[in-house]
Chains A and B, each alone.
Chain A
Amino acid sequence: MTETVERNNRIARNADRVGLGAMILASICLVALGAHWVSGPMVSVIVLVLVAVIVGVLVLAYTGGPEARRLLAPYGLLKPGMLWLALFFLAPVWSLLRISLSTKESRFSVNYNFSWAFENYTKAFSDFGKQFEHAFVYAAIATVLTILIGYPLAYVIAFRGGKYKNILLGLVVVPFFTSYLIRTIAWSTILADRGIVVRALNAVGLERLFEWMHIMDNGKLLNTPAAVIGGLTYNFLPFMLLPIYVSLEKIDTNLVNAAGDLYSSASRAFRKVVLPLSIPGVFAGTLLTFIPAAGDFVNAQFLGNPNTSMIGNSIQDQFLKQNNYPVASAMAAVLMVSIATLVLLYTRIFGTEDLA
């Protein structure tokens, strides 16, 4: 009896380290499998190690007594997420970075030789600077527009929606049951040169104004920068609206009433009470909109022209048409790093303590 207790104590002393070690080892195994570090019979060895590690920890937790289980529990809870990230995030990113520093054996080769080929990155910057610029500028404008459209809409639904609240939210969400592609292509029909919008603008004589504002170009709305930004705004509006709605909806209206009781004007109450409390929603919405919009290629593909390509189009073109995986990977890596940097700066400047 005392022997078992002694043994359990010993196991418990080491359980912490064992748990951590097992998780790291299992993650490395998955990255190795995912990123093709090994081939042939070594693959089965790695799979065996992976299974052995997981089974081993389970056995340890089963036999090691309550103290060991208490120490192993956090790693057990972390593991599914960690292993998922290892296989589906770390391994692909590793492959991407590796290919971005590789060269092709020959023009039509499918093999890439790792050679610290930093010229891929130079090429990504020199040949595709314009497309990077388009991506960030269009995504930024679209993000601002989604705030301008989404905030008032969310406000009305949250505070004035009453019993129609659910229906109004449904109206926002329902169009997004159809495929992203179909919705975007639908816009290319709506905005077509002889489509309903252009004809209506001509009929009321707004065409001149739109031409002057550079929204239209030689009588066309479609295939202009404005159409691309419009498409982005349309497609990402719910990602802005829903977080703002959630943060507005939880605001206690008594606070606004209280501000009124203290002789605050309605607009001042909005600025001092509602707006600060809803900022976390705007913040979350901005991230949810800007990040995917900067990497988007569908809108520029169907609503843009050859001079409005965004970096997503270039990456897609290099991967799928030019077969230039190294340069495409370099561009993808640059895009990833620049978005991450922008987001970090943004969180630093605007803070996220309230986000929780």
Chain B
Amino acid sequence: MSANTPKNTMTRRQFLARSGALGALGLSLPAFLAACGGTEGGGGGGEESLFFDNWPLYIDPTADGLTGTVDRFMAETGVKMTYGEGYNDNNEYFAKIQPLLGAGKSIEADIIAPTFWMAGRLISLGWTEKLPKDLIPNFANIEDVYVNPTWDPTGEYSMPWQAGTAGIAYNIDVTGREIKSVADLFDPEFKGKIGMLTEMRDTIGLICMSLGIDPSKITSFEDAAPAFEKLAQAKADGQIRAFTGNDYADDLVSGNFAACVGWSGDVLQLGKDSPNVRFVIPEEGGTSWCDTMVLPKGLANSTAAAKWMNFCYDPVQAAQITQYVQYLSPVKGVRDELAKLDPELAENPLLFPDDESSARLRSFATLTEDVEAKFDEEFSAITGA
């Protein structure tokens, strides 16, 4: 066919040109689609704007005939709000903002939602702005336990967003039985079907408690070393399928995870649509934590941010968030408001723990900088790729 090429077949040159063009199209199409869905930039014109970058599944959306908190806020204040769900993992998010905040530049978000220890780190690095408290009269509604917390001793930089517990989430279709103890996560029956969180304080905290170590009293790496050994061994044995951030939900629902370390509210939310997904605080005890709202240094819209914080600390609004996210609210008066919306939920001990369940919860000790560095290094050696 070299001498006289029939008309119907492609020459090599045509072929290369065409496949090149197709390839280029294939490469540029996703980029084009991505460009169409670009996020909206910061303040434009006279209209106030606000960008809150939060964890996934962490606010009530406008759906099922209910107006979401973001939309209620925009309707009431006229602030143009962008609500992001880009916060999947504390360390990952820190790595994202560090080059900017560390170099004295500002980031796109006006409010971010670090977990308490990460808030503490950001505050001590001086990467956060003081809250304009005179614009947040509802700050008075904060629950007593969160006044001047250990991570923000002067209480000037952070406001809790939601609090919750870490325990075991499991898919009873896969496990075939109720899960009660952290020991079940290490049961060879579930080899390769167990998920662990990349959130060190929850994963290690739970394992510590199952080994009889109180995570709230840890002062050095040696205190928690047995938990690290146990986790490393489980990984080496192939017991662990994946270390995940907030994205464990899909694997749990689809049944890839028989059980995993999970967060109370997420799993309760998932349970609404998938009744086989359940949450339990292990009999050895669970960890408690709190996610906060902080203002990154150099934010563009601190007045709008204050309006948002004030809005969320109104018990009427907070109760609607709680009704959806099913975490512990840091706002006083939510239980009474929630009782009007959903009396059954207002009695749920996972949302409003009684003394007995509170006694089974521990929050991870505040680590000194060197000790934290050691913990992070050892933990990333196990979870890191």
Contacts and interface: CB of A to CB of B under 8 A. Distances in A.
B102 A109 contact: yes
B12 A218 contact: no
B145 interface: no
B241 A305 contact: yes
Interface in A33-72: none
Interface in B76-129: 89, 91-92, 94-96, 98-99, 102-103, 121, 125
Contact of B240 (A217, A250, A305): A305
A314 B373 CA distance: 19
A301 B245 CA distance: 13
B256 A193 contact: yes
B9 A323 contact: no
B39 interface: no
A218 B193 CA distance: 9
Contact of B2 (A217, A223, A252): A252
B380 A110 contact: no
Nearest to B104: A110
Given A218-B191, A246-B16, A317 B385 contact: yes
A321 B1 contact: no
A163 B10 CA distance: 10
Interface residues of A, number: 50
Interface stretch (B22-30, B147-155, B335-343): B22-30
A316 B242 contact: no
B12 A307 contact: no
B25 A307 contact: no
A163 B242 CA distance: 48
A249 B89 CA distance: 50
Interface of A: 107-110, 127, 131, 163, 165-166, 169, 173, 176-179, 182, 189, 192-194, 217-218, 220, 222-224, 242, 246, 249-250, 252-253, 297, 300-301, 305-307, 309-310, 313-314, 316-323
B254 interface: yes
Contact of A163 (B2, B8, B380, B382): B8
A105 to B, nearest CB: 10
Interface centre among B22, B235, B243, B369 (most CB of A within 10 A): B22
B255 A193 contact: yes
A110 B99 contact: yes
A307 B232 CA distance: 11
Contact of B238 (A127, A217, A250, A300): A217
A177 B193 contact: no
B92 A320 contact: yes
B384 interface: yes
Contacts of B235: 306-307
Nearest to A223: B241
Contacts of B243: 306
B16 A323 contact: no
Interface in B344-377: 369, 373, 376
B19 A314 contact: no
A116 B231 CA distance: 35
A323 B99 CA distance: 9
Contact of A194 (B10, B22, B236, B255): B255
B26 A306 contact: no
A266 B256 CA distance: 49
B2 A250 contact: yes
A108 B125 contact: yes
Contacts of B2: 250, 252
A247 to B, nearest CB: 9
Contacts of A314: 384-385
Contacts of B8: 163
B381 interface: yes
Contacts of B240: 305-306
A34 B58 CA distance: 41
A302 to B, nearest CB: 10
A223 B255 contact: no
29 contacts: A108-B125, A110-B98, A110-B99, A163-B8, A169-B19, A173-B22, A173-B23, A173-B26, A176-B23, A177-B29, A178-B26, A179-B30, A193-B193, A193-B255, A222-B256, A223-B241, A224-B192, A246-B12, A252-B1, A252-B2, A306-B240, A307-B236, A317-B380, A317-B384, A321-B91, A321-B95, A321-B384, A323-B94, A323-B98
A131 to B, nearest CB: 7
A321 B380 contact: yes
Given A177-B29, A317-B385, A307 B92 contact: no
A23 to B, nearest CB: 29
